[in-house]
């Protein structure tokens, strides 16, 4: 279930096989609420037979469980997940800071944005936390910072350019450096406000 680098996962699978063990990489998405409600999304890398053997166990904690390929594939999909989530949270934080600067009714704005193409699970789950300034952790910035390091390292290894991802990784690092690592990743809002000179608090 851990989120680690795909290349490390492949090496672990080789070491395990040499000892007669079978490994699947099965990182999860859904945070603490998903774990508590057994609704996690689980992306699984490994052989089809090993996935089939493990699936009943995975069903005890997950709702969306998908075999995505060989060992390391689960970690690669999780890295992509974290890239998308981080980018969405950062853009939501920027949008709310922008709207607040113009004295817009933020609850109304979030409602109408959620009904259009800007709607997303991030908007549904994180806008209210940002508006209430409730940064009690569901998924901590420090963990997302670690995951963004996985994304940037794996992208570099594959020769993939991810300029927005690299920027969000730096903003996540800034949040950790500013003492926000223990807060929910919705606290990226605080970084946007710092960069805006504290505007639109």
- List the domains of the chain with CATH numbers: 6-71 (3.40.50.720), 76-195 (1.10.1040.10)
What is the average per-residue pLDDT within 165-189? 98
Catalytic residues: 78
Q: Identify the residue with better confidence: 179 or 198.
A: 179
Whole-angstrom distance, CA of residue 86 vs CA of residue 144:
8
Contact partners, residue 196, CB within 8 Å, separation at least 6: 97, 101
pLDDT attached to residue 8: 95
Q: What is the pLDDT of residues 64-103, one digit of tens each?
A: 999 999 999 999 999 999 999 999 999 999 999 999 999 9
DSSP H/E element including 67: strand 62-69
pLDDT attached to residue 143: 96
DSSP3 helix / strand / coil % (the chain, rounded to 5): 60, 10, 30
Closest C-alpha to 195, from 148, 143, 178, 137: 178
pLDDT attached to residue 32: 82
Where residue 30 falls among pLDDT bands split at 50, 70, 90? confident
Query: CB–CB of 133/127 below 8 Å?
Result: no
pTM of the shown model: 0.92
115 pLDDT exceeds 90?
yes
200 pLDDT exceeds 60?
no
Which of 107-111, 179-183, 196-200 has the lowest average pLDDT? 196-200
pLDDT attached to residue 201: 53
């Amino acid at each position: 279930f851990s989120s680690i680098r795909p290349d490390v996962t492949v090496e672990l699978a080789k070491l395990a096989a040499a000892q007669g063990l079978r490994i699947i990489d099965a990182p999860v998405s859904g945070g603490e609420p998903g774990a508590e409600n057994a609704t996690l999304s689980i992306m699984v890398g490994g052989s089809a037979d090993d996935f089939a053997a493990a699936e009943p166990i995975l069903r005890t904690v997950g709702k969306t469980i998908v075999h995505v390929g060989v060992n390391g594939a689960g970690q690669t999909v999780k890295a992509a997940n974290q890239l998308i989530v981080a980018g969405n949270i950062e853009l939501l934080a920027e949008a709310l800071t922008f709207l607040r600067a113009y004295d817009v009714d933020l609850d109304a704005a979030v409602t109408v944005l959620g009904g259009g193409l800007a709607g997303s699970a991030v908007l549904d789950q994180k806008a209210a936390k940002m508006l209430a300034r409730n940064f009690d952790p569901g998924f901590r910035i420090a963990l997302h910072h670690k995951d963004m390091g996985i994304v940037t390292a794996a992208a570099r290894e594959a020769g993939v350019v991810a300029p927005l991802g690299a920027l969000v990784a730096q903003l996540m690092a800034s949040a950790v450096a500013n003492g926000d690592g223990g807060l929910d990743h919705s606290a990226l809002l605080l970084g946007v406000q710092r960069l805006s000179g504290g505007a639109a608090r």
